[in-house]
Structure 1
């Protein structure tokens, strides 16, 4: 069968698998925040209508200033984008035809975007046996041979991170070699006690950080993200970006929700607690999981019968994310989101019922 490129489309997945979708199912393939802001936090009907009828600020000035203030950088170091995906493709266009290294397994759009712009792409594989970590010496030597490297941190789909000193060493060595380092921090807001490379921008002009504003606030349909980098890099990226790339509704929602920092902190705590509970509750000796620190993780049955498990979960109304298009994983794992307690209990019951 032809596996879909991404998750978050359950009905299409059921159709491609030749299964009738059950009356109720839970989408564990989508890795946005399972907790939503209360209705009182959302705009009024009049505000929705007004925003829909107005042209957006093409420079997203107010939003860039808010991001800059929160991240302690300059507004000129920020470019708002139509989701993190647009940021990835803008960067691929900027570095078209260059040598690109990608630390894998990771988000497939880095490779797809770079290949579309004629880049020579080379992957560097994580050590699965060591919790999907990287050999720092080997990674550093490899990075110095590239023009640009992509690193997702925390990583999708493993949910894993590097030690701060290790990542700083990799960035420092790559920068010394003249290599641009692109760190995608789309899932950083879910990481309790984590660190961000955003603080290093002043020291490394060739460091570029990506963020998503839609995952943590459950706004996937609004499409909003940003690039933070040296002002010269931002100026170059802007020449590739269409006008009005970030719509007015998305900008207004972000201005409203980004001020709710207590919600982000609360989410981190809830996600961490639920993830740890799920890991403790898995049937003993039957499943392995990646050492994730965020709102999703990899899981595989110790029996190796991952595809059978995938179809079992679909029939149980649990929609997992396949890993067929993640180099190095090749379908041996499934990716599962950390959801609410009730939803996670449904997953645990389905895993317990499987006889594999």
Structure 2
């Protein structure tokens, strides 16, 4: 069967599994803020209608100005894109024909962008358990690589690697003349996040990718940005389609940056629910990745490939993210988003029944 390559859009998953999709369901496959969009965006949504007759600003000047002030860098070190996916696509075009090393498991679009641009692709595998980066082994692989993709916090494990490890990685990449693509799509869910943005001004071989769709729950609008040296930003900008970011997304992005309280409330909710879920899973002898963000990997250690559990949950209208297309996982884990207490209660009750029936 052909597995859907992303979470969300569960109709394609049920179709691939040859199952009828229940009318009542909870989608745990998309890692979106359970609180939804911030109030600032909800309250002003009606005013966006006046902008749809205007062409969007191709330079995203106002949004870049706010981002630059927030991050303490120059506007010329920022490129706004149609979600992280567009920016990954641009990077793929920038490195066409090069040797890309991907730290796995990871977001599948890194490899897709590399393959379509005729890159040689190799892997550095994180080992299940503590998901250690193993910098010594990674350093050896960097010798042959032109670029390395590293998702931090990692998707799908949720593990966050602190800035001391990242700094060492940046040094090793510099020694081996390797471009480091650091995808921080979920950085704002990590309570102990330590910014690596200051390294952009010191190292010309670092690109930081950010998504605004996850924390602010606006995946339908598509919005993200990359931060890098002015030279790298200019190279990426030259490959970017004109007006690829619509005017509604740009305006929403400006307002979302004023939503500090929304971010604080989200982090508190995620931290509380994650702790509650982990305690529950440990009591029922499930294995869970040591996540620091709004999703986690889970497996029933009594079975190898988790398809029986996956099918059981789908029949109950509970939709995890399969891991069939994550190299190194191949279905041995399932990924779940952390949702609000009510939805998490439904999930836990289903997991109790799974344990009871086995």
TM-score category of the 2 structures, normalised to the smaller one: over 0.9
- How many pairs align? 355
What residue is the counterpart of 1:309 in the other structure?
309
Contact 1:147–1:178, Cα closer than 8 Å, also in 2: yes
Pairwise CA distance, 1:160: 0.7
Pairwise CA distance, 1:7: 0.9
What residue is the counterpart of 2:275 in the other structure?
276
- Secondary structure (helix, strand or coil) at the match of 2:307 reads helix
1:349 and 2:349 correspond? yes
Pairwise CA distance, 1:193: 1.6
Q: Deviations over 1:228-251 (max 9, x none)?
A: 000000001111000001110000
What residue is the counterpart of 2:23 in the other structure?
23
In structure 2, do the counterparts of structure 1 residues 52 and 325 end up closer, same or farther at CA, with 3 Å as the change threshold? same
Q: Deviations over 1:37-84 (max 9, x none)?
A: 465642546522212221110100011111111011100000000000
What residue is the counterpart of 1:103 in the other structure?
103
What residue is the counterpart of 2:252 in the other structure?
253
Contact 1:286–1:303, Cα closer than 8 Å, also in 2: no
In structure 2, do the counterparts of structure 1 residues 38 and 236 end up closer, same or farther at CA, with 3 Å as the change threshold? closer
- Secondary structure (helix, strand or coil) at the match of 2:121 reads strand
- Secondary structure (helix, strand or coil) at the match of 1:243 reads coil
- Secondary structure (helix, strand or coil) at the match of 1:159 reads coil
In structure 2, do the counterparts of structure 1 residues 43 and 251 end up closer, same or farther at CA, with 3 Å as the change threshold? farther
Pairwise CA distance, 1:132: 1.2
Contact 1:81–1:226, Cα closer than 8 Å, also in 2: yes
1:173 and 2:172 correspond? yes
Matches of 1:278 and 1:198, distance apart in 2: 32
Q: Deviations over 1:220-269 (max 9, x none)?
A: 00000011000000001111000001110000001011111121122112
Pairwise CA distance, 1:12: 1.8
Matches of 2:341 and 2:275, distance apart in 1: 11
- Secondary structure (helix, strand or coil) at the match of 2:208 reads strand
The 5-angstrom pairing of residues 318-329 of structure 1 reads 318-329=318-329
1:64 and 2:64 correspond? yes
Contact 2:31–2:337, Cα closer than 8 Å, also in 1: yes
Matches of 1:41 and 1:249, distance apart in 2: 11
- Secondary structure (helix, strand or coil) at the match of 1:42 reads helix
Contact 1:289–1:297, Cα closer than 8 Å, also in 2: yes
What residue is the counterpart of 2:195 in the other structure?
196
Contact 1:133–1:162, Cα closer than 8 Å, also in 2: no
What residue is the counterpart of 1:238 in the other structure?
237
In structure 2, do the counterparts of structure 1 residues 38 and 188 end up closer, same or farther at CA, with 3 Å as the change threshold? closer
1:157 and 2:156 correspond? yes
Pairwise CA distance, 1:133: 1.3
Gaps of 5+ in 2: none
Worse-matched range after superposition: 219-228 or 47-56: 47-56
Worse-matched range after superposition: 11-20 or 182-191: 11-20
TM-score by length of 2: 0.96
Contact 2:8–2:27, Cα closer than 8 Å, also in 1: yes
What residue is the counterpart of 1:295 in the other structure?
294
Contact 1:321–1:334, Cα closer than 8 Å, also in 2: yes
What residue is the counterpart of 1:74 in the other structure?
74
Gaps of 5+ in 1: none
Pairwise CA distance, 1:285: 4.6
- Secondary structure (helix, strand or coil) at the match of 2:180 reads strand
CA root-mean-square deviation: 1.4
Matches of 1:185 and 1:300, distance apart in 2: 25
Matches of 2:37 and 2:224, distance apart in 1: 19
- Secondary structure (helix, strand or coil) at the match of 2:271 reads helix
